[in-house]
Amino acid sequence: MCGAGSRARIGYAQILPEVRMKAPIRVAVTGAAGNIGYSLLWRLASGNCFGDDQPMILQLLEITPVMERLNGVVMELVDSAFPLVHDIVATDDVNTAFRDADAIFLVGSRPRSKDMDRADLVAANGPIFVGQGKAIGESASRDVKVITVGNPANTNCLIARANATGLDGSCFSAMTRLDQNRAVGQVAAKLGVPAAQVQDVFVWGNHSDKMYPDLRKAVASELPAMGQLDLAWVREEFRRTVATRGKAIIMARGASSAASAASAAVDHMRDWWKGTNGRIVSMAIPSQGWYDVPEGLVFSFPVTVDASGTISVVEGLEIDAYTRDRIVENIQDLESERSAVAELI
Ligand code: NAD
Ligand code: LMR
- 217-253 pLDDT tens trace: 999 999 999 999 999 999 999 999 999 999 999 999 9
Q: Is 86 a catalytic residue?
A: no
Mutation test residue for ligand 1: of 36, 95, 176, 182, the one with most atoms within 8 Å of CB: 36
Give the pLDDT score at 20: 54
Q: Do domains 8-174 and 177-344 have the same CATH topology?
A: no
**Is the distance from the beta carbon of residue 61 to the nearest atom of ligand 1 less than 6 Å?**
yes
CA distance 66 to 31: 9
Of 145, 177, 190, 207, which is the active-site residue? 207
Domain ranges of the chain: 8-174, 177-344
SS3 113: coil
Angle 122-139/321-340 helices, nearest 10 degrees? 80
Give the pLDDT score at 112: 85
What residues contact residue 179 under an 8 Å CB cut-off, 6+ apart? Answer: 203, 207, 211, 213, 242, 243, 245, 282, 300
> CATH number of 177-344: 3.90.110.10, 3.40.640.10, 3.40.605.10, 3.40.190.10?
3.90.110.10
135-148: b or e for each residue (b if 16 or more CB lie within 10 Å)? Answer: bbbebbbeebbbbb
**Is the distance from the beta carbon of residue 35 to the nearest atom of ligand 1 less than 6 Å?**
yes
4 pLDDT higher than 90: no
Range in 10-14, 124-128, 268-272, 326-330 the model is least confident about: 10-14
**Is the distance from the beta carbon of residue 60 to the nearest atom of ligand 1 less than 6 Å?**
no
Range in 9-23, 99-113, 225-239 the model is least confident about: 9-23
**Superfamily of chain region 8-174:** NAD(P)-binding Rossmann-like Domain (3.40.50.720)
For the full predicted model, state whether its pTM sits above 0.85. yes
Give the pLDDT score at 117: 82
Say if residues 97 and 39 touch (Cβ distance below 8 Å): no
Ligand 2 binding pocket (C-beta < 6 A) is: 111-112, 118, 151, 178, 246-247, 249, 256-257
Q: What percent of the chain has pLDDT over 70?
A: 94
Tell me the pLDDT of the chain averaged across its residues: 93
* Mean pLDDT across 273-295: 97
